[in-house]
Amino acid sequence: MTRVSFYILNGNKEHDRQVFACRLAEKAYKQGNQVYIHTENADHAEQLNQMLWSFRADSFVPHQVNNDEPNEHCPILIGHDSKPPRLMDLLINLTVEQPLFFSQFERLAELLDDNESVKTAGRQRYQFYKQRGYELDSHHISI
């Protein structure tokens, strides 16, 4: 069963959530995991694509936007309107709803901040997972 972790960041800047998603993806990649980052739309996916190249000067995180091109070997995919093309280890959710395909992952990371709409949607997702018996944990992160 999928283990769900909520990361609650102080502050309310979308940029901080994106940087934290990059850091989390990098850590998972270094541990040998395959990661799917789920974003709101194509623009958000492209922002994250660019950020993964530049969020830290000494970092290299191989990734690509999930599209029609073959991507069997890329360890980190970024998408917005479909599930990943293969089984992967970690789903990082940057949307306000739980992705319909979340249960195919070993782990799910839900990233929240102090933005009221993000928090409210996060509380609803927390209740959704809790009512269905998923293992939940939460971490407060200072940025």
3-141: CATH, from 3.30.300.30, 1.10.150.130, 3.40.50.10110, 3.40.50.970: 3.40.50.10110
Supply the pLDDT for residue 67. Answer: 80
- Go through the chain and tell me how many residues it has: 143
Supply the pLDDT for residue 68. Answer: 62
Instruction: Write the pLDDT tens digit of every residue in 54-77.
Output: 998 888 899 999 886 767 789 999
Query: Residue 112's beta-bridge partner residues?
Result: 8
- How far, in Å, CA of 118 to CA of 94, rounded? 10
What rounded mean pLDDT belongs to the chain? 94
> Is residue 6 a contact partner of residue 126, using CB atoms and an 8 Å limit?
yes
* pLDDT tens over the chain, length 143 residues: 999 999 999 988 889 999 999 999 999 999 999 999 999 999 999 999 999 999 988 888 999 998 867 677 899 999 998 889 889 999 999 999 999 999 999 999 999 999 999 999 999 999 999 999 999 999 999 87
Supply the pLDDT for residue 70. Answer: 63
Supply the pLDDT for residue 107. Answer: 98
Q: What are the domain boundaries of the chain?
A: 3-141
Give pTM, 2 decimals. Answer: 0.95
Closest CA to 134 of 109, 116, 111: 109
Closest CA to 33 of 94, 108, 95: 108
Closest CA to 37 of 51, 50, 22, 27: 22
